[in-house]
């Protein structure tokens, strides 16, 4: 073709007919043309035309059968809507002007195949098995595409573990499974029934623990797309986009090292815009509420096509949905509205919640790494509850054998999306009289970056309760459990479970109590595991100093008693409360104060239920519920707001909480922080690192709490989230490769 002919062909896109100009205007206004998709889907279009993709589509692309967006086929639109064909109108123009409001078919409908039924095998993957850094997960619905996929695998030159799931078709599938196993003897090859398309097989592997230890997982499938005229070209584009022949190693390392990268998809596969909701909004919301996440329907961003690289942070949240096979729709060639379709959209909200980006290939090629911003805590503590063993007092007050676990296991959900009960996993329903448990807890905490437990010390005018775990620890120097004490000096009342305020154990502050309390603390302070965060002074915390009749005088007498006992100077701290006690306490009485969320961080505007605006949950609550529900994510914002910070003592250790929900104790009168999950907790840690740590006392961080199970303020592994809270904490405060990345301008 001559140069003049080419010039005329290019110039044609600027000389539009009246109908073509109308299509240009209507497609832009309706958002029915996706330029990113168009460029990515049709790389064969000349670079000059790619600068004006909509004009190219109008003049040339539509007649060629090219798609303006993934869900619109001009040929199929005419075929399924003969009235449009009779008008001679452009298919996209008709759709943009009115067809999109009429629920018309916009693409080829897939045919339903009758396939043999097969029970899904029981899968389990041991946590201590050796794995490569990466995994490739492949679902094969079309057996004839295996040679193409095998060719793709052959050219990969990095180490990976291979997982292959096959839609069961009988003997043909058995033969293919044997062929794949022979070629890749270390691969996991599993045949499954035709249900949930490529999503359910992936979820079955995920739920069984297959992907727990990988740095990134690549998910691909035999996307033949028979309803598309360009199905083969499109499939290769999607797969080659994330497994390119050139620079794959470099791009993969960039993806893994970037803490902001959650998904890697081919060009054109990051869908944004409300037109992609279809009939999936209600199901998507229902799934997200399993993680106490909300959507308002005004935002959508997700990795389309179900072919991508994905990070562990996303996979862990996905696993926490606890989706079962029975929840997936039976395959009937549905084009929308199924659990599988909704999960595709859920992925984008998981990335948003985890503050991670969906990157397309060209974006990743030019991506510059950016380390997480903010300071790392110099010392991290977590409040620790020793309530997990029976004592005579609790037997008498609450029933034989009472421990913290009793309320925890009987908690009930108060509204759809309320995550209760939350129960333990890795450590089980432990008894803290077994000292080895403390060692296991300390090992988990140390790996996540926690330096010490601040253990509640229950002392009532010389009477001790719940002392057995620490007393047994003193006799076991082999158990590495870093700790210091917090004197929980509140009187014990019967409001523990929402009943009356009858006093059970009273704190009287009898004359001379200070010296007695100090003497009681000496065996612990003299233990090698008792913490001295500044390297010199043992630390001691008082929970409610305002309850003491003479806080300043008592503190002076305690300091003097420790000196006389040979301990020397003690670093003395107290907890900040938003409710004043009987006695005012000056800020300089203590060396430091501890911020203890949610105390003082909840405002009237934050309530979703029980506040001045009534029920803002947009759903019913349990009959008789009279408690309070507030927005966890708004509490995060409050914790870094100037109006809140200006009322804190200068020598305050900043604090965070993984969650808060005392339904297990107070039932229908519970106080609940809704929206707490590992992703939102990670966001709080990011905010604290960016805005609070540098001004925190000695650059420290305090967490409320390690194991307050009946208040759902826990970091320990749970049946819902596994060890996600610990992994999130580790990624922010423990040494990690991401912290070694030099910050660059993105």
CA distance 740 to 285: 38
Identify each DSSP E strand in 131-284 by its residue range: 134-140, 160-167, 188-192, 216-221, 261-265, 270-272
pLDDT digit string, tens, across residues 493-518: 766 544 456 788 889 999 999 999 99
What does the block give as tokens for 205?
């592997």
CA distance 629 to 608: 5
pLDDT digit string, tens, across residues 657-684: 999 999 999 999 999 999 999 999 999 9
Output the CA–CA distances (angstroms, integers) from residue 263 to 39, 133, 600, 686, in the order listed: 20, 16, 37, 20
- pLDDT above 90 (res 539): yes
pLDDT category of residue 743 using cuts at 50, 70 and 90:
very low
What does the block give as tokens for 712?
């759902």
CA distance 300 to 291: 18
Pairing of strands 713-714, 707-708: antiparallel
pLDDT of residue 658: 98
Pairing of strands 463-465, 452-460: antiparallel
pLDDT of residue 379: 98
Tell how far CA 728 is from the center of its chain.
8
CA distance 621 to 337: 27
Residue of 7 and 383 predicted with greater confidence: 383
CA distance 378 to 293: 32
- pLDDT above 50 (res 736): no
**Mean per-residue pLDDT, 373-395:** 94
- pLDDT above 90 (res 568): yes
**Mean per-residue pLDDT, 286-304:** 91
pLDDT of residue 285: 93
Q: What is the mean pLDDT of the chain?
A: 91
Domains of the chain (ranges, CATH numbers):
1-98 (no CATH), 134-269+305-324+356-366 (3.90.550.10), 379-741 (3.20.20.80)
pLDDT of residue 141: 92
**Mean per-residue pLDDT, 539-554:** 95
Percent of the chain with pLDDT over 90: 72
pLDDT digit string, tens, across residues 104-118: 888 876 666 667 777
**Mean per-residue pLDDT, 268-287:** 87
Residue 591: which of 633, 637, 617, 555 has the closest Cα? Answer: 555
pLDDT category of residue 746 using cuts at 50, 70 and 90:
very low
CA distance 662 to 519: 34
Q: Is 662 helix (H, G, I), strand (E, B) or coil?
A: coil
What does the block give as tokens for 717?
């592994």
pLDDT category of residue 336 using cuts at 50, 70 and 90:
low
Tell how far CA 53 is from the center of its chain.
37
Residue 463: which of 508, 401, 396 has the closest Cα? Answer: 508
H or E segment to which residue 76 belongs: helix 74-80
CA distance 728 to 685: 9
- pLDDT above 90 (res 646): yes
**Can you spell out the DSSP letters for 349-375?**
HHHHHTT-EEEEHHHHHT----PPPSP
pLDDT of residue 100: 86
pLDDT of residue 370: 67
Q: Is 139 helix (H, G, I), strand (E, B) or coil?
A: strand
pLDDT of residue 745: 28
Residue of 387 and 230 predicted with greater confidence: 387
What does the block give as tokens for 302?
């997700």
Q: Is 610 helix (H, G, I), strand (E, B) or coil?
A: coil
CA distance 144 to 172: 10
pTM, 2 dp: 0.84
**Can you spell out the DSSP letters for 393-418?**
HHHHHH-TT--HHHHHHH----STT-
pLDDT of residue 341: 87
Pairing of strands 452-460, 707-708: unpaired
CA distance 56 to 96: 17
Residue of 172 and 371 predicted with greater confidence: 172
Which residues, 6+ apart, have CB-to-CB distance to 219 below 8 Å? 137, 198, 202, 306, 307, 308, 309, 310
pLDDT of residue 38: 87
CA distance 34 to 54: 8
pLDDT digit string, tens, across residues 120-167: 888 889 878 899 999 999 999 999 999 999 999 999 999 999 999 999
């Amino acid at each position: 073709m001559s140069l003049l002919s080419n010039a005329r062909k290019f110039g044609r896109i600027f000389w539009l007919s009246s109908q073509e100009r109308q299509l240009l205007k209507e497609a832009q206004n309706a958002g029915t043309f996706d330029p990113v998709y168009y460029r990515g889907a049709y790389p064969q279009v000349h670079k000059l035309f790619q600068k004006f993709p909509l004009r190219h589509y109008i003049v040339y692309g539509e007649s060629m059968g090219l798609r303006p967006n993934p869900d619109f086929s001009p040929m199929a639109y005419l075929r399924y809507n003969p009235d449009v064909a009779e008008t001679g109108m452009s298919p996209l123009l008709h759709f943009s002007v009115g067809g999109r409001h009429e629920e018309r078919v916009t693409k080829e409908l897939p045919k339903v195949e009758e396939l043999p039924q097969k029970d899904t095998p029981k899968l389990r993957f041991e946590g201590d098995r050796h794995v490569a850094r990466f995994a490739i997960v492949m679902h094969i619905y079309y057996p004839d595409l295996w040679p193409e996929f095998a060719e793709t695998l052959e050219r990969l030159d990095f180490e990976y573990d291979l997982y292959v799931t096959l839609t069961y078709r009988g003997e043909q599938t058995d033969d293919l499974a044997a062929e794949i196993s022979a070629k890749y003897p270390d691969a996991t090859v599993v045949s499954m029934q035709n249900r949930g398309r490529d999503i359910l097989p992936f979820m079955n592997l995920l739920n069984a623990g297959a992907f727990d230890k990988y740095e990134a997982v690549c998910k691909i499938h035999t996307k033949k797309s028979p309803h598309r005229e360009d199905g083969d070209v499109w499939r290769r584009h999607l797969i080659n986009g994330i497994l390119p022949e050139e620079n794959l190693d470099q791009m993969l390392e960039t993806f893994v090292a970037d803490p902001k990268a959650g998904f890697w998809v081919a060009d054109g596969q990051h869908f944004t815009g409300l037109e992609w909701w279809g009939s999936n909004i209600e199901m998507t919301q229902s799934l997200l509420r399993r993680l106490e996440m909300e959507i308002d329907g005004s935002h959508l961003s997700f990795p389309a096509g179900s072919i991508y690289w994905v990070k562990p942070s996303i996979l862990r949240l996905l696993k926490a949905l606890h989706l079962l096979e029975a929840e997936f729709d039976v395959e009937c060639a549905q084009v929308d509205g199924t659990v599988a379709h909704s999960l595709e959209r859920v992925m984008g909200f998981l990335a948003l919640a985890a503050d991670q980006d969906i990157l397309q290939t060209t974006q990743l090629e030019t991506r510059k790494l950016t380390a997480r911003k903010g300071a790392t805590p110099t010392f991290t503590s977590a409040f620790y509850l020793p309530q997990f063993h029976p004592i005579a007092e609790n037997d008498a007050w609450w029933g034989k054998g009472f421990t913290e676990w009793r309320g925890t296991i009987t908690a009930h959900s108060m509204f759809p999306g309320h995550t209760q009960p939350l129960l333990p996993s890795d450590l089980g329903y432990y008894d803290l009289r077994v000292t080895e448990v403390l060692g296991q807890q300390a090992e988990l905490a140390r790996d996540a970056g926690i330096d010490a437990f601040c253990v509640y010390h229950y002392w009532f005018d010389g009477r001790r309760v719940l002392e057995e775990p620490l007393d047994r620890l003193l006799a076991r120097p082999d158990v590495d459990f870093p700790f210091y004490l917090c004197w929980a000096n509140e009187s014990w009342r019967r409001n523990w479970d929402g009943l009356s305020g009858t006093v059970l154990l009273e704190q009287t502050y009898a004359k001379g109590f200070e010296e007695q309390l100090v003497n009681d603390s000496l065996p612990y302070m003299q233990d090698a595991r008792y913490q001295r965060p500044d390297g010199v002074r043992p630390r001691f915390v008082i929970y409610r100093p305002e309850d003491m009749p003479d806080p300043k005088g008592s503190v002076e007498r305690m300091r003097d008693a420790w000196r006389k006992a040979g301990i020397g100077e003690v670093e003395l701290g107290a907890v900040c409360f938003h409710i004043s006690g009987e006695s005012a306490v000056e800020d300089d009485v203590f060396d430091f104060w501890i911020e203890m969320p949610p105390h003082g961080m909840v405002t009237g505007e934050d309530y979703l239920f029980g506040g001045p605006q009534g029920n803002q949950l947009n759903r019913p609550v349990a009959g008789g519920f009279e408690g309070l529900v507030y927005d966890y994510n708004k509490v995060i914002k409050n914790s870094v707001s100037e109006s809140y910070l200006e009322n804190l003592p200068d020598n305050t250790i900043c604090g965070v909480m993984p969650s808060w929900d005392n339904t297990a104790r107070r039932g229908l009168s519970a106080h609940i922080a809704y929206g707490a999950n590992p992703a939102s907790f990670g966001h709080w840690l990011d905010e604290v690192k960016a805005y609070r740590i540098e001004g925190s006392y000695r650059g420290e961080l305090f967490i409320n709490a390690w194991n307050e199970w009946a208040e759902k303020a826990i970091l320990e592994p749970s049946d819902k989230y596994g060890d996600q809270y610990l992994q999130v904490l580790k990624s922010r405060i423990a040494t990690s490769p991401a912290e070694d990345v030099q910050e660059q301008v993105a």
